Amino acid sequence: MGYGNFLNVTSTTLELQGSLIGSLLAEKLRTSSVSLSSLPTSSSLHQFLSNYKQWWLELVSEDPVHVVVETVLLFTIIVVIWRGNGSASKKKGKFDSKLTHREKEQLISDWKSTPLTPSLTPSEKRIVLRNSTQVTDYNGTHILTTSSSTPLLNLSTFDFLCMSVSSTVKSASLETLKTYGCGSCGPRGFYGTIKPHLKLEEEFARVWGVNESIMYSDGASTSSSTVAAFAKRGDLLIIDDGICEGLLTGVTLSRSNVKSFKHNDMEDLRKVLEKIRKEDKRMRRNVLEQRRFIVTEAVYRNYGSILPLDELVNLKNEFCFRLIVDESLSFGVLGPNGLGITDLYNLPNSIEITTVSLENALGSVGGMTIGDDEVVDHQRLSGAGYVFSASAPPFVSSASVASLGVIEEDGPRMIKILKKNTASIVKIVNNIKHLELRSDPNSPIIFASLPSSNEESHEDQNLILQNIAEECKKNGVLIVATGDHVTDHLLVSSPPPMLRMTVNVMHTEGMLKEAGKVIESACGKFC
Amino acid sequence: MPSTSSLKQMKVAELRSLAMSTLPEVPSNLSKMKKADIIDLFQVTSSSSSSSSSPSADTYKYDSSEVDPYSDVRSRLESLAAHSAANPPPEHHITLFAAFTTYLGYAVLICVGHLRDFFGLTLSIGSRYVPATPRTGCAPLLKSWDNFYNRRLYHRIQDCFNRPVGGGEGAKCRMKVMERVSYDGNKTMTVANRKTNKNTQFQDGEYNETDAEGDVVRRCLNLGSYNYLGFADDWNETCEEDVLSTLSVAPVSCSSPRVEVGTHLLHRELELLVARFLGKDDALVLNMGFNTNATTIPALVQKGDLIISDQLNHTSIVSGARASGAAVRVFKHNDHHDLDAVLREAIVMGIPRTRRPWNKIVVMVEGIYSMEGEYCNLKNIVEVCKRYGVYLYLDEAHSIGAMGKTGRGCCEYTGVDTKDVDVLMGTFTKSFGGMGGYIAASQDVVDYLRTKCAGSIFHNSLSPIVCQQIITAFKVIMGEDGTKNGRNKLRALRDNSNYMRMRLTDMGLHVLGNYDSPIMPVLLYNPTKIAAFSRECFKRGLAVVVVGFPAVPILMSRARFCVSAGHTRKDLDDALVKIEEVADLCKLRYARSTFG
């Protein structure tokens, strides 16, 4: 199409439309063509144009719709080009040309940075003060610290099975240290994979009944790397609003869409899932395009509650979600054989992706992710903590293999002791009228807060609980008040200030009774 | 120090280019300047930087009682090191031929991959390449590209990565790498074992032997581990006693975060040692190097703050920055002029949209860039940071213990006072043969991080056994064990690195990085050469690291040599002969010929 053709298109079709502006424009165009024709030199051009006009008029009479559509398109193009240009030039003018060199210098010299870190709040000062106390000796039940002359009863580490001091684990570590030395001096990909690492991966896969598992060198980065390896921008994560920091970091790093449900509340989860299903229908989303995961913990680090796995499995099957469950505090702790939450509910292989920290019940260092071949293989290239971090020293893998062996052999007996000890602490807490049990009665991590009838502010409650913990420490019992350090996170709300007690297999009834008395008297003093 | 005298002998043309690239503000009429002026200009910069940046001669000098293994090449090594300290590393330009064949290589790989996928899906032949059946109603777990890249590109050369080490050796300089075989075209690898008869496809070679458990291993010279000071090699002499005696009294794991009951006496001892070593008020020690960055950065910076990060920073810094919610800008690798420009623009413009001023700005750089072998241009960067009053965060993962005349890292090497760097971060995995990481800073900052950083309040603390390993290693480096081991290690590391780099460069390879840095990447370019180089070296008893996309840009695939203090000159000479063979075989001498 030539230029003249364009002219004709506009003039004729505008005539046809007969709109006000259109006809004005058309008038102008027509007069211009008339004035062109009046020039003697352009007589042949005039001839040419009039022929074209004739041709177009015929076209219009034959197929008016075609012409209308074309006109609209043409106008749209013009409008788009004009507006696009306009906004671009505006932007340029707004930032660049306004500031002179001198003004820029002024701005730069005016700018003053805030301090690198703000000054500490009272609760942060308390943490620093407490942190100056160091552990000098530890035998499972008792801890000796630099600030007390007598051993303190340990109700605060996550060493449920006392593996970190067990002779089996230590002799396994010793053996490997002697043969392989300490550090691995490299990431797994680059000669940092040492035989004990392979052995551990093999053992975990065997216990889980899968082909492969993958080891990370740090417990917390296991969960964050795993979540971020699978969920990406555009995927959907449904999170429990009580999950711990490791998983939350993974969720943040994944940049997926995040929805949360009330802590451990399967009814609320159903509501959330149904809402998503409705939305899918309304927006005609293709569910096969978006990877969807439910992210939870088996035993919640910040609440001590236990995941109702049976209900959750039903829900995820019904709504087609995959499960990512952090078993860091449940492996070696739950189930008749101590093999975790799937053992407790007897639902083997119901979880697609499981992460386990080796630093708690297994008394070692590192973490594992267990899933099918696809899950494990993908992480060997995409798990940030696996690919970009040096592997753990080989001796900690041997230590984990040894503790895994102990759990397999002696698990049922140890679980019984753990249950009995849990029950005694739960009983103690229930008998103290100033405290209310907040954790699951079967969880060896016991959380207690001031009664829910207490109307004091969180800060005041926290102070009371901190004082109780300090008082207990003075009287030889080490428990943790979490209010100072377990605080707000961007994605979830912080738990209320609570006292945390953990039991392990070496505690005897007598020790726990003594501890009960100490805690009760401390509560009596401050409540 | 032969620097000035040897420099004077250099050609004028070379000096001119040196001066051009060294001087920050080169006068625009440089071409009209007299020869003598240029030499003067250059000497000013070189002498000012060499006085502070080059290590003092006595630390590295051999006593009359000691034998200098490099006495024949000593003067050349020193002058190359001095030259490198005063100049940016040489830039290698990829030849058109290499670029074309590299792209072609990837194109062929991708086409063939798609072809095989097509036949796998339609004809169900080659079933191992059919993607795993998705759960009904769920999206596939892996998106197509991830999956495709793994199956069609990575799996082809999988045997070059994740090679396990066995035979009772750790990351030692002479180690035993386990042989693996694959029965499904490299999709899965199994360890070759004599006892379980998994080795039907396996043929013994010159370097092979069978270990106690029946696994087939290959005796290799290790040119891949970050065992810079060789603590893996002489572990039994230097660290064993301390570590084993700690194992008998301390728990393997504390099973508790630092702020609860996870602070062992040894943690504190280590922290004080790190602080003293680096001249800072205090330090914080965490369980994992990666997490030290990934958890500290979110605690330091938040929304409303700005991170200005070097283009080539490690993933752990990127992870931390992403988790922090702060804005992130990137400046050109090691380029303080670009940093200056980015900083100016950031301060003038303020926070996007609201245009409020930034609360604080933190510049993040690394001491040695692990994939480039380059050390940080710290002096200039510190100067820029000071000029604008912004904070500097230095990640010394690879440089701590490996650089500087007493092993105090990049600050010492470049002559920067550690007080001028606000936050010093480093890891214990490399030079110290341990695990974990530290943050050293002023008392306020460390106290604040103790209470806010997830690594300190949520993650379980470092194993006391590993703490002991690091403490002992520190004592050796600092000479507090009463021997000269530490000094000898540092000297051997520097000499070995420089010798290796010199010989590799002489060979006509494209070697990246600076002298005095123990990491020397050699560019391979073509994707096929990644596997070829690694396999050919392995065949000859060399364990090398090769890196391809996506860890490095698609055109810049490379092999990376990491030298250790535990290597002897004979080790390196033997290795260099083999590398030369492989370089001829793979056509890698790009510095000599366009076609390699």
Full DSSP string of B207-266: TEEE-TTSBEEEEEEE-SS--TT-TTTSHHHHTHHHHHHHHHHS-S---SBTTTT--BHH
Find residues 341-360 of chain A whose CB sits inside 8 Å of chain B. Answer: 357, 359-360
Mean pLDDT of B346-367: 93
The predicted pLDDT at position A30 comes to: 52
Number of neighbouring beta carbons within 10 Å of residue A10: 18
Q: What is the mean pLDDT of chain A?
A: 86
Count the helices and strands in chain B (H runs, E runs). 21, 19
Q: Is B447 on the interface with A (CB under 8 A)?
A: yes
Domain identity same for A326 and A281: yes
pLDDT at B447 over 50: yes
- CB–CB contact B142 A378 (8 Å): yes
Residue B16, φ and ψ in degrees, nearest 5 = -60, -45
The answer to whether A141 and A153 are in contact (CB under 8 A) is yes
* Full domain range(s) for residue A149: 122-162+411-526
- CB–CB contact A182 B314 (8 Å): no
Cα distance between residue B304 and residue A65, in whole Å: 56
Q: What is the mean pLDDT of chain B?
A: 85
- CB–CB contact A252 B323 (8 Å): yes
Minimal CA–CA distance to B369: which of B497, B560, B171?
Answer: B560
Name chain A contacts of B466, Cβ cutoff 8 Å: 182-183, 365, 393
Mean pLDDT of A311-331: 93
Domain identity same for A504 and A363: no
pLDDT at A426 over 90: yes
Q: Is B130 on the interface with A (CB under 8 A)?
A: no
Residue A61 resides in a domain: no
Q: How far is A336 from chain B (nearest CA, A)?
A: 23
Q: Is B324 on the interface with A (CB under 8 A)?
A: no
Q: Which long-range contacts (CB under 8 A, 24 or more apart) does B115-121 make?
A: B116/B152, B117/B148, B117/B151, B117/B152
Q: How far is A395 from chain B (nearest CA, A)?
A: 10
Q: Which residues make beta-bridge pairs with B308?
A: B329, B363
Q: Model confidence over B493-541: pLDDT tens digits?
A: 999 999 999 999 999 999 999 999 999 999 999 999 999 999 999 999 9
Domain-ending residue, one of A409, A427, A457: A409
pLDDT at A515 over 80: yes
- CB–CB contact B265 A364 (8 Å): no
Structure tokens at B588: 């890698």
pLDDT at A78 over 80: yes
pLDDT at B138 over 60: yes
By Cβ distance, the residue of A138, A181, A191 closest to B433 is A181
Q: Is B150 on the interface with A (CB under 8 A)?
A: yes
Mean pLDDT of A308-321: 93
Structure tokens at B104: 């072609």
Q: How far is B160 from chain A (nearest CA, A)?
A: 9
The predicted pLDDT at position B63 comes to: 81
In chain A, the number of structural domains is 2
Domain identity same for A259 and A377: yes
Q: Is A365 on the interface with B (CB under 8 A)?
A: yes
Residue A216: which pLDDT band, with cuts at 50, 70 and 90?
very high
Find the CATH number of the domain harbouring A470: 3.90.1150.10
SS3 category, B515: coil
Name chain A contacts of B178, Cβ cutoff 8 Å: 195
Residue A359 resides in a domain: yes
- CB–CB contact A389 B150 (8 Å): no
Structure tokens at A28: 């102008």
Query: What's the half-sphere exposure (Cβ side, CA atoms, 13 Å) at B347?
Result: 24
pLDDT at B85 over 80: yes
By Cβ distance, the residue of A108, A359, A377 closest to B253 is A359
Domain identity same for A367 and A425: no
**Residue B143 CB partners (closer than 8 Å, separation 6+):** A232
Sign of CA dihedral A280, A283, A289, A292: negative
More confident residue, B47 or A293: A293
Residue A249 resides in a domain: yes
For an interface test with B, give the residue of A95, A108, A116 to mutate (most B CBs within 10 A).
A116
**Residue B145 CB partners (closer than 8 Å, separation 6+):** none
Range list of H helices, A209-339 = 219-230, 245-254, 266-283, 309-319
Percent of chain B past pLDDT 70, that is, above it, reads 87
Following CA atoms A82, A86, A87, A92 in sequence, which dihedral angle do they give, to the nearest 10 degrees?
A: 140
Domain-ending residue, one of A379, A409, A439: A409
Find residues 382-441 of chain B whose CB sits inside 8 Å of chain A. Answer: 388-391, 422-423, 427-430, 432-435
By Cβ distance, the residue of A288, A363, A485 closest to B253 is A363
Q: How far is B146 from chain A (nearest CA, A)?
A: 8
Q: What stretch of H or E contains A398? A: helix A394-431
CB-count exposure of residue A58 (10 Å: 0-12, 13-18, 19+): exposed
Domain identity same for A222 and A275: yes
Q: In what order do the strands lie in the sheet with B519-525?
A: B519-525, B557-562, B545-547
Residue B328: which pLDDT band, with cuts at 50, 70 and 90?
very high
Find the CATH number of the domain harbouring A317: 3.40.640.10
CB-count exposure of residue B201 (10 Å: 0-12, 13-18, 19+): exposed
pLDDT at B358 over 70: yes
Domain identity same for A491 and A363: no
Q: Which amino acid is at B523?
A: L
Residue A41 resides in a domain: no
The predicted pLDDT at position A34 comes to: 45
Residue A69 resides in a domain: no
Domain identity same for A243 and A184: yes
What pTM was computed for the model?
Answer: 0.84
Lowest mean pLDDT of B132-146, B199-213, B222-236, B347-361, name the range: B132-146
Mean pLDDT of A13-41: 47
The predicted pLDDT at position B56 comes to: 46
The predicted pLDDT at position A17 comes to: 46
For an interface test with A, give the residue of B435, B447, B493 to mutate (most A CBs within 10 A).
B435
Residue B551: which pLDDT band, with cuts at 50, 70 and 90?
confident
Domain identity same for A360 and A434: no
Name chain B contacts of A159, Cβ cutoff 8 Å: 251, 253, 255-256
The predicted pLDDT at position A521 comes to: 92
pLDDT at A20 over 70: no
SS3 category, B565: coil
The answer to whether B181 and B189 are in contact (CB under 8 A) is yes
Residue A447 resides in a domain: yes
Q: Is B549 on the interface with A (CB under 8 A)?
A: no
Q: Which amino acid is at A405?
A: G
The answer to whether B449 and B284 are in contact (CB under 8 A) is yes
Domain-ending residue, one of A391, A409, A427: A409
Name chain B contacts of A377, Cβ cutoff 8 Å: 150
The predicted pLDDT at position A452 comes to: 81
**What is the DSSP code string of B322-336?**
HHH--EEEEE-TT-H
Q: Model confidence over A350-400: pLDDT tens digits?
A: 999 999 999 999 999 999 999 988 889 889 888 999 999 999 999 999 999
Structure tokens at B329: 């800008």
Query: What's the half-sphere exposure (Cβ side, CA atoms, 13 Å) at B340?
Result: 11
Name chain A contacts of B469, Cβ cutoff 8 Å: 182-183, 393
Q: Is A195 on the interface with B (CB under 8 A)?
A: yes
Q: Which amino acid is at B394?
A: L
- CB–CB contact B316 A170 (8 Å): no
- CB–CB contact A193 B545 (8 Å): no
- CB–CB contact B224 A246 (8 Å): no
Q: Model confidence over A82-137: pLDDT tens digits?
A: 876 555 555 554 555 578 888 889 999 999 999 999 999 888 888 888 888 899 99
Residue A91 resides in a domain: no
Mean pLDDT of B163-183: 87
Cα distance between residue A5 and residue A56, in whole Å: 9
Domain identity same for A494 and A400: no
Residue A52: which pLDDT band, with cuts at 50, 70 and 90?
confident
The predicted pLDDT at position B274 comes to: 95
Name chain A contacts of B222, Cβ cutoff 8 Å: 191
The predicted pLDDT at position B7 comes to: 39
pLDDT at A211 over 60: yes
Percent of chain B past pLDDT 90, that is, above it, reads 61
Percent of chain A past pLDDT 70, that is, above it, reads 89
Domain identity same for A188 and A147: no
The predicted pLDDT at position B266 comes to: 94
Structure tokens at A253: 């790093």
Residue B401, φ and ψ in degrees, nearest 5 = 85, -20
Q: How far is A29 from chain B (nearest CA, A)?
A: 45
Q: Model confidence over A352-364: pLDDT tens digits?
A: 999 999 999 999 9
Cα distance between residue B424 and residue B367, in whole Å: 10
Q: Model confidence over B267-307: pLDDT tens digits?
A: 999 999 999 999 999 999 999 999 999 999 999 999 999 99
Domain identity same for A305 and A212: yes
Residue A347 resides in a domain: yes
The predicted pLDDT at position B135 comes to: 60
The predicted pLDDT at position A418 comes to: 93
**Cα distances (Å, whole numbers) of residue B507 to A390, B71, B88, B413, B580:** 31, 21, 21, 28, 7
For an interface test with A, give the residue of B146, B182, B216, B261 to mutate (most A CBs within 10 A).
B261
**Cα distances (Å, whole numbers) of residue B39 to B6, B30, B34, B139:** 13, 12, 9, 66
H, E, C per residue of A136-174: EEECCCEEEECCCCCCEEECCCCCCCCHHHCHHHHHHHH
The predicted pLDDT at position B172 comes to: 86
Exposure b/e, B24-36, CB count within 10 A at least 16 = b: eeeeeeeeeeeee
Domain identity same for A135 and A254: no
More confident residue, B1 or B131: B131
